[in-house]
Amino acid sequence: MTPRTEKLEPPSDDKRWRIVQATMQRNGFERDGLIETLHTVQESFGFLDDDSLRYVAASLNAPLSQVYGVSTFYHLFSLKPAGKHTCVVCLGTACYIKGIPLLLKEIENEFGIKAGQTTPDGQLSLMTARCLGSCGLAPVAVFDGQIDGKVNVHEAMARLKALQEGDNA
Partner 1 sequence: MLERLEEIAATEQLFAEEFAHTVNVCMAAGCMSSQSGLIKEAFDKEIERGGVERRCRVRGTGCMGLCAAGPLVTVDSQTPDEVLYQQVKVEDVPDIINALEGQPVKRLQCSIDIPFFKRQKKIVLENSGIIDPERIEEYIARDGYSALLRAITEMSPSDVIDEIVASGLRGRGGGGYPTGLKWTTVAKSDGEVKYVICNADEGDPGAFMDRSVLESDPHRILEGMAIAGYAIGASQGYVYVRGEYPLAVARLKTAIRQARRSNMLGSGIGGTPFNFHVDIRLGAGAFVCGEETALIASIEGKRGQPRPRPPYPAEYGLWGCPTLINNVETLASVAPIVRNGGEWYAQYGTATSKGTKVFALAGGIRNTGLIEVPMGTSLRDIIYDIGGGISAMGECKAIQTGGPSGGCIPAAYLDTLVDYESLAALGSIMGSGGMIVMDESTSMVDVARYFMEFCMTESCGRCVPCRVGTVHMYNILDKFSRHEGTQDDLVLLEKLCDMVRNTSLCGLGQTAPNPVLSTLRYFRSEYMDCMIPEPDGAEIINETLEVAQ
Contact residue for partner 1 among 58, 79, 137, 163 (CB under 8 A) = 137
Helices and strands counted in the chain (H then E)? 7, 4
Does residue number 35 form part of the binding site for partner 1 (CB under 8 A)? yes
**Angle between the N-to-C axes of helices 100-111 and 153-168, in degrees from 0 to 180, rounded to the nearest 10:** 30
Phi, psi of 80 (to 5 degrees): -125, 150
Q: Other CB atoms closer than 10 Å to residue 161's CB: what's the count?
A: 12
Least separation in angstroms between CB 120 and partner 1:
26
- Contact between 104 and partner 1 (CB under 8 A)? no
| Nearest to partner 1 of 11, 28 (CB atom) | 28
Q: Side chain identity at 64, as an amino acid letter?
A: L
> Does residue 20 interact with partner 1 by CB under 8 A?
no
Greatest CA span in the chain, whole angstroms? 57
Q: What are phi and psi of 51, to 5 degrees?
A: -60, -45
Beta strand spans in 105-164 (E): 124-129, 141-143, 146-148
Nearest distance, CB of residue 24 and partner 1, angstroms: 11
Nearer to partner 1, 94 or 123 (CB): 94
Binding mask 50-89 for partner 1 (x = CB under 8 A): ------------x---x--xx--xxxxx------------
Question: Does the footprint of partner 1 cover residue 159 (CB under 8 A)?
Answer: no
Alpha-carbon distance 145 to 136, whole Å? 19
Q: Quick one: which of 9, 36, 50, 144 contacts partner 1 (CB under 8 A)?
A: 36
Site residues (vs partner 1, CB under 8 A) = 30-36, 38-39, 62, 66, 69-70, 73-77, 91-94, 96-98, 129-138, 140, 147-149
